[in-house]
Each structure stands twice: as C-alpha cells, then as structure tokens.
C-alpha cells in the first residue's frame, strides 16, 4: 500500500465482498483510503477486508442489506461514529436477472431485482449524502451496466433497473454539484466474475473486475475542478 492519493479519506463500497466490489475496495485502499465494504455475505466481506489488511491497508467489513433502509441508516450512523465523515460512496451492490422475455417473467422476481439495483442506491444516497455534504464534498460512483445503454432481450427487468440507475445518477449529479459532490456512473460491458459467468463467452477476452476498479480510481482522484460523469467500458475484443 504505497500510493497515498486518498490518504485521510473514507470510502464505502456496497457489494464489496467479491467480484467488482472487492476489486474496487482493494484499489481504493491501495490509494490510501480507509475502506468500508458492506453487503449481505459476512464471510465474503471478511475475506476482502483480510486481503486489504494483509497488504497494509485499512478496511472494515460491515454487513448491510441495501434493500432495507433501517440497515442503511445504521450503516450511516456507524460510519459517522467511527470515521466522522464519508468521502467516497461506490454503489456497486446489484443482482442480475436474465430469465427470458418479460411477459414470461415470474412477478415475484421483479421486486428483488429493482429493490437491489435501484432502490438500494437511493437508500444509500439518502442516508450517506448528508454526511458527505457536512464534510464539504466527495464522490458518488454508481456501477451500472452497458445494459443501461442498450436493449437487452431476455433481461428487460435488469435493463430497466440500470436505465433507471443512469437517470438517477444524471439527476442527482445536478442536485449535488453545488455541494462539491461529484456523481458519476460506470457502465461496464461483459465482466468476468464468479457471479456472472456469461455462458459461451471467452473469459480471457472479457473485462476483469480490476478494469472497473481502475475507472473508479481515476474518477475519484481527478482534480476537483472537473469530473467524469459517465464511462462506458467495453472489452477490446468481443468475447
């Protein structure tokens, strides 16, 4: 942990136990940030925190279900008590849903997907943005998907959640600019993680979690006079 570009800052990464979230947490910790990883799987969170600490970084693993506002409020209170501030919020927690045409989708699958991918981001911004405002500013990065830019037959509900997340991000960016808070959205293409194997695609040609982490690191370390509001990240070769 040699780079201290984020020294003295506190970063929260939702869905930080594995995949893209873990890679982002590790990258921010390597830049010197005190990092909090949260999610629903305590064992995975502890593993991420352990790896960061072994590299000399600071990381706390706190369970939190972003679909339940009481959990998110408790997270915000604990962050305030422990660190006194939050400088970076990465809304990464999300679930996929590729169950076929929307007209055949079981109705009970809709709420969990939208609640995690969209409502959870609202809850985190609602609970944590006031703390960021009181601290004088910061960065909010929402991890969306290229499915939030393009049609996704067979995954309409997932696409709807990500299109909604993009619209939320653009609007909140305008609301919070006056508070010195930059709100950005990252839309990765096919990314190789254990939770999204993308059957039939070559994992060696797919994006890796570290590629997304690099983009987030760039966003939160650029000069405060500017911000990158959106990045669409694609693999160089089609998988």
Please tell me the total count of domains within the chain: 1
- Full domain range(s) for residue 69: 10-224
Is 139 domain-assigned?
yes
Strands in 230-233's sheet, in edge-to-edge order, are: 59-63, 34-39, 10-14, 88-91, 138-143, 181-188, 230-233
Is 154 domain-assigned?
yes
Is residue 158 annotated as part of the catalytic site, yes or no?
Answer: yes
Q: Are 92 and 21 in contact (CB under 8 A)?
A: yes
CATH number, residue 210: 3.40.50.720
Is 3 domain-assigned?
no
Is 141 domain-assigned?
yes
Is 97 domain-assigned?
yes
Is 237 domain-assigned?
no
pLDDT 10s digits, 38-58: 999 999 999 999 999 999 999
Catalytic one among 69, 123, 158, 170?
A: 158
Q: Are 156 and 117 in contact (CB under 8 A)?
A: no
Is 4 domain-assigned?
no
pTM given for the model: 0.94
Q: What's the confidence (pLDDT) of residue 108?
A: 93
Residue ranges of the chain whose pLDDT lies below 70:
1-4, 195-199
Is 112 domain-assigned?
yes
Cα 159 to Cα 88: distance, rounded to the nearest angstrom:
26
Strands 59-63, 34-39: pairing is parallel
């Amino acid at each position: 942990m040699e780079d201290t570009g984020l020294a003295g800052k506190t970063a929260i990464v939702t869905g930080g136990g594995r995949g893209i979230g873990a890679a982002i947490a590790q990258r921010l910790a390597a830049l010197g940030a005190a990092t909090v990883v949260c999610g629903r799987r305590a064992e995975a969170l502890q593993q991420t925190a352990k790896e960061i600490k072994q590299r000399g970084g600071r990381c706390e693993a706190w369970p939190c279900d972003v679909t339940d506002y009481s959990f998110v409020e408790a997270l915000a209170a604990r962050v305030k008590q422990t660190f006194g501030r939050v400088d970076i919020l990465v809304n990464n927690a999300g679930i996929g849903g590729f169950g076929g045409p929307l007209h055949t989708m079981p109705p009970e699958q809709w709420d969990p997907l939208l609640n995690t991918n969209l409502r959870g981001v609202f809850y985190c911004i609602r609970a944590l943005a006031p703390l960021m405002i009181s601290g004088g500013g910061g960065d909010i990065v929402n991890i969306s998907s290229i499915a939030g830019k393009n049609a996704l037959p067979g995954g309409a509900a997932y696409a709807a959640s990500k299109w909604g997340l993009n619209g939320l991000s653009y609007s909140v960016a305008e609301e919070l600019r006056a508070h010195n808070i930059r709100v950005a959205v990252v839309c990765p293409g096919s990314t190789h993680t254990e939770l999204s194997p993308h059957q039939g695609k070559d994992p060696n040609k797919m994006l890796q979690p570290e590629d997304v982490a690099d983009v987030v690191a760039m966003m939160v370390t650029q000069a405060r006079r500017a911000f990158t509001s959106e990045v669409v990240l694609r693999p160089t070769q089609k998988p």
